[in-house]
Amino acid sequence: MRAEHEAEFVDFVDAASPRLLTSAWMLTGDPGSAEELVQEALERVYVRWTRLRGGHPTAYARRVMSNLHTDTWRKRRREVLTEAPPEQFGGSEPSSSTVDLIRALQQLPTRERECVVLRHYLDLSEKDAADALGVSVGTVKSSTSRGLAGLRALLLEEETHV
């Protein structure tokens, strides 16, 4: 890779990493796994940087992360959750509403959490989310609906306890 492309890639990594890390953490629920997921996605972006640099490398990285997470989940079929979110995330303290949302997401079943994150945080279409998870579009629709309903209930419950 030429030096000018190398510099562009470094700038891309600096700009995109915090948001990618947040996305990965929402997908995995584990800070360590999230960092590994982002690292592997950035490696794949680097390999294809000359083709991606003029397009949408962040979208490509998010898609790679989604696919890698799905592959990992299929292999392990086990979920690793943390008791509390990390103190620092993405270079700054998360707001209390972000922490509440993340805690609520962690309480959802795996499929529902994945569908909600893919559809509403990563902004994938129902078809793209279904392809990423290896399920039907109907499963994505129903899991997203149940996940959003569960989030609403959990967040309302937290509000009444405050």
Tell me the per-residue pLDDT of 92-129, one tens digit each, with 9 for 90 and over.
554 555 567 788 888 899 899 999 998 988 888 999 88
pLDDT 10s digits, 71-91: 876 665 555 556 665 554 455
CATH number for the domain running over 95-162 = 1.10.10.10
Check if CATH label 1.10.1740 holds for domain 1-93.
Answer: yes
| Per-residue model confidence (pLDDT) at position 142 | 96
Q: How far is CA 21 from CA 18, 44, 137, 146, 149, in A?
A: 5, 15, 27, 25, 26
User: What is the pTM assigned to this prediction?
Assistant: 0.54
pLDDT 10s digits, 8-52: 999 999 999 999 999 898 888 888 889 999 999 999 999 999 898
Those residues with Cβ within 8 angstroms of residue 64's Cβ, 6 or more apart along the chain or in another chain: 40, 41, 44, 45
What CA dihedral angle connects 41, 134, 155 and 97, to 10 degrees? 10
| Per-residue model confidence (pLDDT) at position 132 | 84
Which tops the pLDDT comparison, 85 or 153? 153
Q: Domain locations in the chain?
A: 1-93, 95-162
Residue entry with tokens 């492309």: 5
